[in-house]
Amino acid sequence: MIEARRLHILRAVADHRTVTAAAAALYLTPSAVSQQLTALEQETGHRLVERGAKGVRLTPAGEILLSHTNAVLAQLERAEAELAAYGSGEAGTVTVAAFATGIAQVVAPAVARLAGTAPGIRIRVRDAEGDASLPMVLDRQVDVAVAVEYRGAPPADDPRLTPVPLYAEPFDAVVPVTHRLAGAAEVPLAELAKDPWIGPYPGNPCHDVVVLACENAGFHPLLEHSSDDFRAVVALASADAGVALVPRSALRGMDLTGVVVRPVVGAAPTRRVFAAVRRGAEGHPLIRPVLQALEQAAQA
**Helical axes 4-16 vs 60-86, angle rounded to 10°:** 120
CA distance 162 to 214: 31
Average pLDDT over residues 101-109: 94
Identify the bridge partners of residue 273 per DSSP, sorted by sequence position. Answer: 148, 167
What one-character DSSP code corresponds to residue 300? -
What is the Cα–Cα distance from 198 to 221, expressed in whole angstroms? 9
Q: What is the mean pLDDT of residues 53-70?
A: 86
Going 68 to 73 to 79 to 82, the CA torsion angle's sign is negative
pLDDT reported for residue 253: 87
State the pTM of this model: 0.71
Distance CA 275, CA 103 (A): 12
Cα–Cα nearest to 100, from 244, 174, 210, 204: 204
List pLDDT tens digits, range 225-247: 999 999 999 999 999 999 999 99
Our measurement of the distance from residue 159's CA atom to the centroid of its chain's CA atoms, rounded to an integer in Å, reads 17
C-alpha distance across the termini of the chain, in Å: 49
How many Cα neighbours within 13 Å face the side chain of 127? 5
Mean pLDDT over each residue of the chain, to the nearest integer: 90
Residue 86 confidence (pLDDT) above 70: no
Tell me the three state secondary structure of residue 166. Answer: strand
Q: What is the pLDDT of residues 12-49, one digit of tens each?
A: 888 898 888 988 988 889 889 889 888 888 888 888 88
